[in-house]
Amino acid sequence: MLTIPGDAVSCLGSLHNLRSIKLENLGVLYDSDTVRHLAESWPALMSLVITHPHIIRTCPCMELEDVLHFVENCFNLANIAITINPIKDDSSFPPESSLPLSVASRVHFHGLGCSGNIIDKVAQFIAAVFVHSHFHLHDNPS
């Protein structure tokens, strides 16, 4: 697996008419600012696939909350498949009333790594944002 810094991916933000992106088996060192920049740069995005084998935990993945940047900025986003960081038991999420709504119909999150203590909160958060989707949570232990 190739690992690259997030700022190297930031240059893709210049592709303002991008409708689909698929980055597989690529470890990107994401930070929230990079994710926000990309989401704001791709208003026409319809398909977002950023995954890598979760067995390899050498680099961090995107945070679940960072997905909101894409929901808020990419109004046509219909397909989402992302490998995300495991969610900690003490994680908190914004109140449902303040969450943006997504039109996405296919949503797949890989590598959640949730314990039973927080899985209900995670499911409620995802269901509140992706109201038109049957979402899939893939828990791949590291």
One-character DSSP codes across 46-108: -EEEEE--TT--SS--B-GGGHHHHHHH-TT--EEEEEBPPPPTT-----GGG------SEEE
In a domain, 1, yes or no: no
Is there a domain that residue 19 lies in? yes
Count of the separate structural domains present in the chain: 1
Mean predicted lDDT score pLDDT of the chain = 77
The conformation of residue 33, written as its DSSP 8-state character, comes to H
| Confidence at residue 2, expressed as pLDDT on a 0 to 100 scale | 52
Confidence (pLDDT) at 95: 77
71-82: per-residue pLDDT in tens? Answer: 899 989 888 888
Tokens encoding 96: 């449902």
Domain hosting residue 91, numbered range: 6-105+112-138
Q: What is the pLDDT of residue 119?
A: 73
Give me the pLDDT at residue 92, please. 79
Per-residue pLDDT tens over the stretch 1-49: 455 666 677 788 889 999 998 887 766 667 788 889 999 999 999 999 8
The partner residues of 79 in beta bridges, in order of sequence, read 47, 106
Q: Which residues contact 135 (CB under 8 A, 6 or more apart)?
A: 107, 108, 109, 126, 127
